[in-house]
A and B are shown apart, each in its own frame.
Chain A
């Protein structure tokens, strides 16, 4: 499977990931090698097979649901939530400017 640096740059953009020029070269080579292994899937016949997205077991439709009630003991105060933020203030997460004037 041939893959170009241009494609890798596009995918990095989709993934919101900055890559250095060295990383880009290395990533292109690595993805090419890995996709060669992935391409072996072409050899197995899956005609008529239903895709399996989850491990499912026999259970009632509502088995995974719980009552929609508040659990005050599990609420986090705003200060607790902000404790791990890199930048916060006035009870909010702060981020760089989104819109340029």
Chain B
């Protein structure tokens, strides 16, 4: 077996034909991940025993002739902001360096029930805060496509392991583009489902009104299969939606003739020329499949970065208050009083970007600034959502670049938080509006750096998104 190229349908077929067992898949994945990880640092923790335990159950089910599940024997990596019972979950932070969760996130529980093998915890920016995966207390991740470049962030590890092949699919989280942007940089598929589509029970909260869990895959269908397993109402997350889960894999195989997509002009200004050319060619491919293309306008886009970084940091400053040195975090041992202990534990435990966002969020919520920043940002958020609602009256989907430029060099933007924030311009609007979005590989620059095309659809229309992405992928093959 060549793990780096296996797809979920191939694993299903291989198990059925007895080419390999789930235990063999788990063993191979563990060895491959251990051997490859020094190159990219994409895993923080490997969990071979856990993968093996699930694999044995899968093999037993197969031996009894039972259905072993939609992800039977599939090696899956889980971003380290999603809790795994008994497997260290650090959130990429020194403050949780030794945290062993006593429970599983719902998404993890569901993927294991479907036979998925959790092979390890993927590196990420600390508490999912970053666009390059350089904010991890466990060191940066290197892009497997070009090792001197960033894999994108914050789910950089989740994208890198799928690109490298040490996992077939993975879970990431997306608050402002943290799934789609690394998927684009590493040349894999990354999906941000509708807000509420996937339970966040067990996801460490960064910005609760914006956080999502979503899948990565090397193919559109693999990502669709994983989403199908983790999606749906969960009584342990009151924000999870009851909307019925559709057959996303079937959607990938549907014809797209007659679908109508919109190109928002605001997403094509300030784009690197190479990226623009690649996206233009992708749009031509869609046209050749019978998709109608029209221009649309999303005029509030220019204000999205400011809006996002106010709302996200305000929510983060509140969510991260729980890391206090008392219950499950690093505690400073140089403190005489309780107040000092809080301050020093947090000062020692959080990295620079986390501190910056806590400070910014506390500032915009503080007395005298609330109306000018936080309330104003919430109104701008409403305008951004209205822009999309208006556009979706005209079109079935919106197509844009994922990032203004491909993966940059490690260290290039690390000292310039403003430049880093501005790079998120094309992905954050989707999270603010709560609509689904995905990144599909659509080409590479002359240097060989992958470029992703973003597809956005209306709330709970993941099927429309997969339909376009599936047809596009087939047309490129």
Measured CB to CB, the residues of A under 8 A from B are 7-8, 11-12, 14-20, 23, 26-27, 30-31, 33-41, 43-44, 46, 49-55, 57, 59, 63-66, 74, 76, 80-81, 83-87, 93, 95-98, 100
Contact = CB atoms under 8 A, between A and B. Distances in A.
B243 interface: yes
A93 B331 CA distance: 12
Interface string B165-182: 000000000000000000
Interface string B329-363: 11100011111111110111010100110111011
B interface majority secondary structure: helix
Contact of B338 (A38, A40, A76, A96): A96
Contact residues on B (Cβ < 8 Å of other chain), bracket: 35 or more
Given A31-B360, A52-B381, A55-B433, A84 B321 contact: no
Given A51-B382, A84-B100, A11 B363 contact: yes
B53 interface: no
B418 interface: yes
A66 B235 contact: yes
Nearest to B375: A51
Contact of A52 (B239, B330, B385): B385
B328 A17 contact: no
A46 B359 CA distance: 26
A74 B109 CA distance: 13
Contact of B417 (A34, A46, A76, A98): A34
A52 B196 contact: no
11 contacts: A14-B362, A34-B417, A37-B422, A38-B306, A44-B300, A50-B382, A53-B209, A55-B196, A80-B102, A93-B327, A95-B338
A52 B375 CA distance: 9
A40 B300 CA distance: 12
Interface string B67-108: 000000000000000000000000000000011101100000
